[in-house]
Amino acid sequence: MTLSVPGPAESLLRERCELEILGEILPPERYREVIAGADALLPQLRDRIDEAALDAAGPGLRVVSNYAVGLDNVDIPGCTQRGIYVGHTPDVLTDATADLAMTLLLSAARRVVESDREMRDGRYDGWRPDYLLGQEVTGATLGIIGFGRIGKAVARRAAGGFAMRILAYDPVGVVREGDLDVEACSLDRLLIESDFVSCHVPLTEETHHLIGEAELASMRRSAILVNTSRGPIIDEAALVNALRSGVIAGAGLDVYEREPEMAAGLADCITAVLLPHLGSATGKTRAAMGELAARNILNVLDGKAPLACANPEVAPRR
């Protein structure tokens, strides 16, 4: 286990395994040394589980149980080829991440960061009709890119709580849930018609720089872009240019292209709300993620597939 996690994960694992907690994110060479001979790994999204790491772990490795839903740090085909299960933590973090996407949307729309600074800097000198006017959220159009678990949860909040019109783009298809009113459309149309755009895609070769200069230019000048998925899906340098030159009105970001760094100039963009990758950061959710990640490992030790498995085609080993 790379880092200690809240909740029951550690005690669950200690009952059945010899648990080693590394306590820090190690440089890849050092990580490869310490994982040699492991039966199971419980990495964080900053650990790269690539071919070199899998080779270093050796033939005894049976499961990589990622402490995240996103698996862009794990070489899934490499694991499958070696008969190693890949587990992850879907569903348990959906609500917390959707809540944070709404937090970013609302904060950027209502200029919360700028306004907070006004108060702290002592610049507020009394109510005025034209002071710090933001964007109306209720009834506005929200475009959701990636209509999976988190995308749908954001749509439910936005439609149910804020009477927003929902457009969604997902190449796998946009499946309507219950009475949620959502209109499937192309990415081009979504970008043109939305007042707010929220990104919920996994990071893959196809989604790298899904939003670049051309996509930003097609958005409304009043639009706000929210990203709680993975940083590299947005060309961050192009976003800084777009924010600086007023191509779009604002952004709400939880993730960055080269975390923990930000693109040059982003910190000076006052219309951007910037959070340090907090999508799943509630005590309840982080504990639930830990429990699921631990149970994924225990299942494999019992000769079964992980509860939440990214490569169920792997044959169980006893």
Nearest to 7 by CA among 79, 94, 67: 67
For ligand NAD, the closer CB: 38 or 305: 305
> Judged by CB under 6 A, does residue 150 bind ligand NAD?
yes
Q: Least separation, in Å, of the C-beta of 209 and ligand NAD?
A: 11
Site for ligand NAD in 57-116 (CB under 6 A): 69-70, 90, 93-94, 97
Torsions phi, psi for 258 (to 5 deg): -125, 65
209 classed as catalytic: no
> Judged by CB under 6 A, does residue 229 bind ligand NAD?
yes
User: Residues of 286-304 as b/e, b for ≥16 C-beta within 10 angstroms?
Assistant: bbbbbbbbbbbbbbbeeee
In sequence order, the β-bridge partners of residue 166 are 142, 182
Total number of residues binding ligand NAD (CB under 6 A)? 32
Site for ligand NAD in 254-273 (CB under 6 A): 254-255
- Binding ligand NAD (rule: CB under 6 A), the pick from 7, 43, 87, 148 is 148
> Judged by CB under 6 A, does residue 6 bind ligand NAD?
no
Nearest to 143 by CA among 196, 203, 66: 196
230 classed as catalytic: yes
* Active-site residue, selected from the candidate residues 62, 88, 200, 230: 230
CA-CA distance, 257 to 259, in Å (whole number)? Answer: 6
Q: Least separation, in Å, of the C-beta of 175 and ligand NAD?
A: 9
228 within 8 A of 199, measured Cβ to Cβ: yes
DSSP notation for 33-67? HHTTT-SEE---TTS-B-HHHHHHH-TT--EEE-S
DSSP notation for 112-123? HHHHHHHHHTT-
Q: Which are the catalytic amino acids? A: 230, 259, 277
Contacts with ligand NAD by CB under 6 A lie at 69-70, 90, 93-94, 97, 145-151, 169-172, 200-203, 206-207, 210, 228-230, 254-255, 277, 279-280
